[in-house]
Each structure stands twice: as C-alpha cells, then as structure tokens.
Amino acid sequence: MRLDQALTIADLKDMARARVPRMFFDYADSGSWTEGTYRANSDDLGSILFEQRVAVDLSNRTTRSEMAGRDVSMPVALAPTGLTGMQHADGEILGARAAARFGVPFTLSTMSICSIEAVAAATDAPFWFQLYVMRDLDFVDNLIERADAAGCDALVLTLDLQILGQRHKDIRNGLGAPPKLGLSSFLQMASRPRWCVDMLRTRNRSFGNIVGHAKNVSDLSSLSSWTAEQFDPELNWGKIARIRNKWPRKLILKGIMNADDARMAAENGADAIVVSNHGGRQLDGAPSSISVLQSIVDAVGDRVEVHFDGGISSGQDVLRALALGAKGTYIGRSWLYGLGAGGEAGVRRALEIIRNELDLTMAFCGERDIRNVGRHILHSVAEQAA
C-alpha cells in the first residue's frame, strides 16, 4: 500500500508493522500488564456519540485554534515518545519537520534518540521539550538550559513516570534503555532491510539527550544502570515548583488523572495540564483518560488550560475530547505509525487523515469553527457521563 492509499490510522499501523522491527513496533503498540487501560482509552472514546445536525451553513470551515499560546492549524500536538528514532532513522527530526510544516506542535522526549540540538538544527520552527525529573538535579537543570537555548517555547513535565510500569511485550523483547541485542532482535532487524539501511545512514542511534551529557554515561553500555536509578520516586510539588521557577516560558504538566491533582497543578503555576494515563503504559486498571476529562475540566475551570492524551486514533476522537472541554489534544501512537510507515511523509499523512476526519465530523455536527465546539455536539452526553 502506498501512503496516499492509507485512509485511516489503522492503515498506517499495518504499514508500520510490516516495516519496523517487531521489538520497536511492540514498544509503541503496547500497554502495561493486561493492557486493559490501553484498550479502554480507545474503547471509551469510541462509545461517545455525536449529535448530527442538518440545514446549517457549512462553508468557510476552520480547524485553526491555539494550544499553550501557539497558533495551530488544528488543536493537535505530536506527543513525546521515547525511542522514536528506532521507529525510523532520525525519527524525531522527521516528526518535528512534519509538525512544523503542518502547523502543529512537536514534543521531543527526554528519552529521544535525536538530541535537542539535533532537532533544533534540522527545523526552523520552535518545538516543545518533555522533561522527566531525575535524581541528578544538575542533569535536570542542564536539560532545562539546553531546551531554553534551543528555543523551545514550552516545557512538558511528565509526572506519572516516577517508577516504570511493567510492559510484558518489552520484557519479552528485551527492550530497555538501551535495548538488549540478541539473536532474536538481530533476526527481527534483518527481516526489515529498508529499516536497516536507513539506520546505517544516520549517526543518531543513541539516546542523544543523555549519552555524553549525564554523569558517567559516555556510551550505551553505561546507560542501562543510569536509567535504572535515575527516575525520581520522590517527585513532589516542591520539585515541580523548582522547575517552574527555572523555566521562563509555558509549563505544561502531563499525567493528570485526578481533579485534586489538577487543582494543585493550577496552584503551582502550570500554564496547561494534560489529562493522560501515559497511554495505558503505567497503571493498568486506571480509568481511561476520556472518562475523567469532563470532571477535571469542571474542577479547574479557566484557571489552567486543559489538554487531552490517550487513545486518539482519528479526527473524531480529537473532536470528542474537544467537546468535553479539552483545548488541545495529543497523538502518540498515531504519528508513530505514520513515521514507521513512511518517515516524514508518513507523519504528514497521519496528520492529514486526522484533520480531514476532524473537519468533516465537525461539519456533520453543524459547526464551522473548531473553537465553538462544545458538549452540545454530543448525543445524550448527560446519560453517557452518568
């Protein structure tokens, strides 16, 4: 299948499955433990129905909006994803370029393959940087300074990975930081010759934000022990306030699933929060992101901008989240499938698919401007919420 023949994110997923080594494809396409929360994210979104309207002027439609002070072509950002450069060579650079040309934000993960500096050098648009809080505060401060120097216009602080959830597919595949390479993994890579050729052509095959920057991490062999001990289990609101004081621009707190935590985020200077359960990759058995979105929006009102992450695989899913009060949304797996399917062009195709579905569904619901979408476009929303 050619990229222009892909009509859905599921089409891109099938293409990525055929082109990406299994251990890296599984890394994206997995959740923790039973994967119940991973599945619920998608299932609960799909259960929300729209209210169709007719005889409405549908000319001059627009999906343009704002996220965290940035004008966007649609309220969708590319979520931070670790190991992106293993889905496709130079994956973070290609994602950032596609996002910039499409007019949506790109978020670079701390655990990216391409470094902050490599992405900044390869694109002329500012991007967002996602930060994990580590025990080594000097390293954290250095990451913040590097993101500032690169011109990142928002810092996305992830709060729900103080400890790592157990992901059975990754354990069985020997996938960690760095991956454990054995006969099985070599055979997987050998079965994807195009992927191998692309990887041989790039120098970006390490964890660019860590190797050569963190203490005693000069190469991949020293990375495993460092990552095992660095995620900070003592993360608290005091440490978040410390980062707020150091970061000069927009601060977005990701991983909020509770109304009280949302209120605390607003009180501690967050410009935006992301309702997210880490794609079902941390606490299996947690509710889906969409099931708690409305209560969090109601809890914080206009005190902080609410974004949504979790299970989005279509423009219809984006519209569902916006209707329940989100001001912006994030796609993770959806853009990774595009990346694996066809590099930068594949990411652009994923964004085109989502924008087309978003525009058409908004129109069928009788709206012309994405900023006017609200709960009124949902069918029997009171019964669904109950």
CB 114 within 8 A of CB 88: no
Which band of pLDDT confidence, cut at 50, 70 and 90, is reported for residue 222?
confident
Mean pLDDT for all residues in the chain: 95
The pairing of strands 305-309 and 272-275 is parallel
Cis peptide before 178 (omega within 30 of 0): yes
Residue 73, Cβ neighbours under 10 Å: how many?
A: 16
What's the confidence (pLDDT) of residue 385?
47
What's the confidence (pLDDT) of residue 382?
46
For residue 160, is it left (φ>0), alpha (ψ between -120 and 50) or beta?
alpha
- For residue 38 the two structure tokens come to 């991973």
State pLDDT tens for residues 46-95.
Answer: 999 999 999 999 999 999 999 999 999 999 999 999 999 999 999 999 99
Q: Which residues participate in catalysis according to the annotation?
A: 278
Which band of pLDDT confidence, cut at 50, 70 and 90, is reported for residue 220?
confident
CA-nearest of 45, 29, 13 to 322 is 45
What's the confidence (pLDDT) of residue 183?
81
What's the confidence (pLDDT) of residue 290?
98
Tell me the whole-structure pTM to 2 decimals: 0.96
Beta strands of the chain (E only): which ranges?
A: 65-67, 70-72, 76-78, 107-108, 128-131, 154-158, 250-256, 272-275, 305-309, 328-331
d(CA 82, CA 336): 10
State pLDDT tens for residues 24-35.
Answer: 999 999 999 999
Which band of pLDDT confidence, cut at 50, 70 and 90, is reported for residue 226?
confident
Match domain 3-385 to its CATH number in 1.20.58.760, 3.40.430.10, 3.20.20.70, 1.10.10.60.
3.20.20.70
Which band of pLDDT confidence, cut at 50, 70 and 90, is reported for residue 209?
very high
State pLDDT tens for residues 358-384.
Answer: 999 999 999 999 999 999 999 974 444
Residue 231, Cβ neighbours under 10 Å: how many?
A: 15
CB 127 within 8 A of CB 109: no
Q: Where are the domains of the chain?
A: 3-385
- For residue 276 the two structure tokens come to 């997210």
d(CA 284, CA 46): 19
Question: Could you tell me how many helices (H) and strands (E) the chain has, helices first?
Answer: 16, 10
State pLDDT tens for residues 141-180.
Answer: 999 999 999 999 999 999 999 998 999 999 898 887 677 7
State pLDDT tens for residues 291-347.
Answer: 999 999 999 999 999 999 999 999 999 999 999 999 999 999 999 999 999 999 999
d(CA 176, CA 182): 13
Secondary structure (3-state) at 29: coil
Angle, alpha carbons 319-341-31 (nearest 5°): 60
What's the confidence (pLDDT) of residue 328?
98
d(CA 205, CA 83): 10
The pairing of strands 65-67 and 70-72 is antiparallel
* Residue 386 in this model has a pLDDT that exceeds 50: no
